[in-house]
Amino acid sequence: MVRDPLSEPVWFLPLKEEELPRINELSNIPAIAQHFETIPPVSMEATRAMWSYIESGLMSLWGIHNSGRIIGGAGYYSQPPGTRLSHAATFFLYIEPAFQGMGIGTTAIQFLEKTAKERGFRRMECMVAGSNPRAINLYVKLGYEKEGEKKQAFFVNNSYENLILISKILSP
C-alpha cells in the first residue's frame, strides 16, 4: 500500500514510559535492528534500561507518531554538562520500514536539529554503518559531512563493517 505522508501529520512527542513496549517492538524489526548497537533480540529489560538515560536527561527520545501509532523514534544523547564534549549531540533515527522513503526521515532530522539548537548544542553527529547508504545519503543531503571511518567497528550479519562518522555544525 502506498501512503502519502502529507495526508496525515507526523508528530514528534516525547516518549512516555508506557510506550516502551512499542519502542521494544520496533527495536526488534529486523530492518531496524540491523542498524542498532544492541544485538537482537532486544529484551524489554534493555529497553527499560534505556529509560533511565532518558530520565537522567542524558538522552532525549521522541516517538514519531503517524496513523494513530508510533512508527519510529528520533533522539540524541550527549555527555554530561560541564565536559569538553557536552556541546555535541549524537543523534539516532529509526522508522518502521512501511513508512520509509516518504520524507519522514528528513522531517525528523530537521526536528532534532531545531531542538538541539534550542537546548544549546552546537554540533550534531552520528555513526552510521557503511552498509546503510540510504541513511548516509539522507544525512549528506541535509548538510552533514563525512569525517572519517572507524574500520571494522560494527558487527552485523556475521561480519565486521566500517562505521562512517558524520557531523554538522549547527548555526547559532
Confidence of residue 3 (pLDDT cuts 50, 70, 90): very low
Give yes or no for residue 1 having a pLDDT over 70. no
* pLDDT digits 0-9 by tens, 152-172: 999 998 999 999 999 999 988
pLDDT at 130: 94
Average pLDDT over residues 106-132: 97
The total of other beta-carbon atoms located within 10 Å of residue 163's CB is: 18
Give yes or no for residue 6 having a pLDDT over 90. no
Rounded alpha-carbon distances, angstroms, from residue 121 to 17, 36, 86, 155: 25, 24, 8, 30
Average pLDDT over residues 101-107: 95
> What is the rounded average pLDDT for all residues in the chain?
94
Distance CA 51, CA 31 (A): 23
Average pLDDT over residues 21-46: 95
Average pLDDT over residues 89-101: 96
Q: Give me the CATH code for the 11-121 domain, please.
A: 3.40.630.30
Average pLDDT over residues 67-85: 95
Average pLDDT over residues 22-50: 95
Which residues lie below 8 Å from residue 122, measured CB to CB, with a gap of 6+?
87, 88, 169, 170
Average pLDDT over residues 123-149: 97
